[in-house]
Amino acid sequence: MSLLLNKPEVLLKAREEMDACIGEPVRLVEATDLPKLQYLRCIIMETLRLYPPAPLLNPHESSADCTVGGFHVPHGTMLLVNTFAIHRDPELWDKPTSFIPERFEDGKNGGNMVIPFGMGRRRCPAENLGMQMVGLALGTMIQCFDWERVGEELVDMTEGSGLTMPKQLPLDAFYQPRASMVFCLGTS
């Protein structure tokens, strides 16, 4: 939501896609709608690229001597993969620190590796469930409410300390139910 509040045009595009996909009669977004909501998926992928759930993957161990990035890695070395650094590498990404969901349109990822859920045999087994739950939660917030920043300044995206990179300041935002969704929310 912080990224969307800083880019209201992205929030509007996501809402328009959702309204067009769900159509009439108006109803809440459902899991069966998610495959059709490609721009919402792009927003989620770009958010996970910029802010992976865990900036370091589970430790791996090299099974043989190898060379990685010009460095000799002996057999049995414990390896930590820094997804945060990979996802923000200027050699891999155009404007690596910018929130640009369009880089994932048409199923592409710019030819780059996005690994917020890990990789290989240790890839998170709940990746599909996680993507579905985030899609439903974010989709519902976009569909049901009008959102605004509290002030004119952008939402502060400064990260606090900790392994999961929490925001330093919690999000403050104004919201109100959309007129078209009031009956779905149980309010009058």
**Whole-number Å distance between alpha carbons of 70 and 67:** 6
Say what the pLDDT of residue 187 is: 52
Question: Is it the case that residue 188 has pLDDT exceeding 60?
Answer: no
Per DSSP, what are the bridge partners of residue 68?
Answer: 71
Question: Is it the case that residue 110 has pLDDT exceeding 60?
Answer: no
Number of H helices, E strands in the chain: 6, 6
Q: In the chain, what are the domains?
A: 2-53+85-185 (1.10.630.10)
Question: Is it the case that residue 18 has pLDDT exceeding 50?
Answer: yes
Question: How large is the average pLDDT for residues 133-145?
Answer: 96
Per DSSP, what are the bridge partners of residue 177?
Answer: 145
Question: Is it the case that residue 111 has pLDDT exceeding 50?
Answer: yes
Higher pLDDT, 182 or 91: 91
Look-up: residue for tokens 């414990």? 78
Q: What is the pLDDT of residues 66-91, one digit of tens each?
A: 998 899 999 999 988 899 999 999 99
The size of the chain, in residues, is 188
Question: Is it the case that residue 138 has pLDDT exceeding 90?
Answer: yes
Say what the pLDDT of residue 154 is: 95
